Each structure stands twice: as C-alpha cells, then as structure tokens.
Structure 1
C-alpha cells in the first residue's frame, strides 16, 4: 500500500508538471501569435502607404513631357520661375495658346492671378480646329476670352486632387476623370503632360481645346 501511494503521488506530480509545461507553452504560443499578427498588420499598412505614394506622381508626368525643352526658360525648371503666361510663351509646345492669350488680352490677368490651375492645349490641339474656324475665334475677343477662361480653375490642383468637378473662371464647370498619371477632361481631352509648375500656377497640358457648354 505504501508503495502504491508513493507511485500515485509521483504520478500526480508528473501530471501536474506536464500540465504546467503545456500551459506555459500555450501562453508562449499565444504571445508569439500576437506578435506575428502585429508584424503582419504593420507590413500591410506599410505596403498600402507605399502603393498610395507610387500612385501619386512626384513631378511632371505624361508622354508629351519629352517635348518640353530640357533646359532654358522653356524647360520645367525655367517655367517654374515665371508666372504662367510668361512661362507658356517660353515653351514651343504652347505657342498657339500664347497667341490666343495675347489676342484676348489675358496675359496680365493670368500672370497676376494667385494660385490657379491651367489646362493648356498644345499646338496640335489647336490644329484639330479647322483653320477658318480658328481664325474666326481668334478675331472674336468675347468668344476667345470665354474659351480661354474655361481652361482656368482657381487653386493649384495636385494630381491627387485633380479628379472631380471644378468651377472655371469662365463660370461653367469642367469635369476631370482618372487617377495616377491617366486623366481626361470632359471625357475628350487627355492630359499629355501634367503637374507642370510655374510661379503662380499648376499646368496640365492637354491634347484637345475645351469648349464651354452653350448657355
């Protein structure tokens, strides 16, 4: 009997020790699981932030940016030093727009405006308009002013703020759709070189002249 009791006591002690070991192991595993979960969550958040940053252009973007001079007053760095009308006049990609702005007498208005966004049609955009119609518009100051001011929005719009409906200086709204480096204006004009900085404006160069809605 004494031997049997000793064996039972010893067996009980071993069982208790084993139970404690299992409990400690379980606690250790739970802690490790929590740490792993926190690490995974942190990694996912970091990846999401990096993805968002990658979708937002840090500087100028678009296929037509390669047509902008690499240096001089018409380059991106040169344009950044001048107000928008002056900056455009130094850029050969925008010479027809500059002619239109001059004909409408809007040079000083644009140069002295504070923090604006300009959707600037390229020479090729104006070339889509039949020559006779273009010359007629250039000769009609009221119509020309309406068209040009429809390309100007108050405030500097960064790429991440570009999509949406925006009131123009002409009075009517225009709508931008897209994200990242792919944007269209009013569903017809594509941004071919965006996020160009001048002293008082952010410029998005587009491939089609925008026409304000009929009143």
Structure 2
C-alpha cells in the first residue's frame, strides 16, 4: 500500500507540473531502417523488422548496443549496451533482482523509455524528488514493471491487440499503425515509438519517448 501511495503522489505531481514544462525532445531523427512488417503470430522479430527514426543511432556491426550484439542476449543484458537506454538501465539496476527477473522472463514485450524521457520526468519533478524516486525501490519497481507486457508482440500485433495489461497491472492503449504505433498510459499521456521491433532472446523491445504512468 505504501508503494501504491507513493506512486499516486508521483503521478499527481507529474500531472500538476507537466503543463508548465517543455518536454524533452526525442533524439535527432535518423533515416528509418525499415517499415514495420505484417504481424507475426509469436511476436518474434528480426533485424530486418526494426524501424523508427532513432534506430540509425544504434551502433553498427557487432559493436555493443548494435542489433547483432543485442539479439542473442536476454532483454536486460541487451538494454545495458544500448546507448539510448542508459538511464533506464541505471533505474533497473537500482532495484535488486529486477534485471535478473527480466532476463529470466519468457516471451515478453518491453516499452523502454529513452534517456530523454527520464530527463523530462526529472525536469518536472526536480532533482531532489527525482533522486528520491530512484532510491525508492518499491516505487521504482512498480513504475518499471508498468513498462513490461507478459506476452511478446511485434508492432503489428500491438496495434491489433489495441489494449494491453502490464506486468505490474494497469493497461496501456495502442494506437497509430504498425509503421508508427503509439502507447497511451493510464494518465492519458501518449508516447511514440523511436525504435521498434528490436529483437532480444526473450523480448521484443520498443524504445519510446515518454515514461509511462498507470492511472493511479
């Protein structure tokens, strides 16, 4: 109950302050790698299926953080090498056991806020409150778990499903198209996909431009 109360305070704070701050913009656009493919029944994707304006910022070849490097790894280990996700990785590692839990899951979908999404939350909350959030393991675990779907989807499958229940409980709504899906959280905030259909050994990853918040 204490974690729920803390999360409610956070979401109210964000809702109250959000209108006064200019959101951090997404990474500079790079040429899309490809359009999203037709839905796959099991949600598993390949490098050829990856799409989005920020995908070109990933390392190339077999360098750490490249598609070839991330693909064989479980999701938390893969994210740890992705330069777009360093703040998310810091948040995950602040919760003991969470990285191992994510790595041990089978067939999941992860909405991964890029670094600028956390910068936006930090600007809204202020440094002290943001650092307090990062040090509150229960509250942080609840927020991060709201970004994990216990079923594997590709972009077309997300759009077809329309509404998804997160690992932490609470729903998100998928809009847009398979080429440009959107994710709307419980507070009504809509995130866009910066790089989607990223394959890892146990998850399909969608890098998004906002931190998702449950309804309450």
- Tell me if TM exceeds 0.5: yes
Per the alignment, in what secondary structure is the counterpart of residue 70 of structure 1? coil
The match for 2:182 is 184
Q: Could you tell me the TM-score, scaled by structure 1's length?
A: 0.72
8 Å contact 2:37–2:49 — kept in the other structure? no
The match for 1:21 is none
8 Å contact 1:146–1:212 — kept in the other structure? no
Query: Which runs of 5 or more structure 2 residues have no equivalent in the other structure?
Result: 1-34, 39-47
The match for 1:136 is 132
Counterpart of 1:73 (choices 64, 81, 85) is 64
Per the alignment, in what secondary structure is the counterpart of residue 185 of structure 1? strand
Any idea what the Cα deviations from partners look like across 1:126-163, whole Å, max 9, x if unmatched? 11012333212101111100100000001210111112
Per the alignment, in what secondary structure is the counterpart of residue 195 of structure 2? strand
Provide the C-alpha distance between the structure 2 equivalents of 1:178 and 1:132, rounded to a whole number of angstroms.
Answer: 36
TM-superposed CA distance for 1:55, in Å, is 6.5
Counterpart of 2:167 (choices 159, 166, 169) is 169
Looking at CA atoms only, which structure, 1 or 2, has the larger radius of gyration?
1
Moved over 6 A (4+): none
Per the alignment, in what secondary structure is the counterpart of residue 137 of structure 1? helix
Size of the alignment, in residue pairs? 161
Per residue, is there more helix in 1 or in 2? 1
Any idea what the Cα deviations from partners look like across 1:35-91, whole Å, max 9, x if unmatched? xxxxxxxxxxxxxxxxxxx76365100001011111313101110010000000011
Looking at both structures, which has the greater relative contact order when contacts are Cα pairs under 8 Å and sequence separation is at least 6? 2
TM-superposed CA distance for 1:178, in Å, is 1.2
Provide the C-alpha distance between the structure 2 equivalents of 1:206 and 1:197, rounded to a whole number of angstroms.
Answer: 15
Q: Could you tell me the TM-score, scaled by structure 2's length?
A: 0.71
Provide the C-alpha distance between the structure 2 equivalents of 1:203 and 1:177, rounded to a whole number of angstroms.
Answer: 17
Provide the C-alpha distance between the structure 1 equivalents of 2:179 and 2:132, rounded to a whole number of angstroms.
Answer: 35
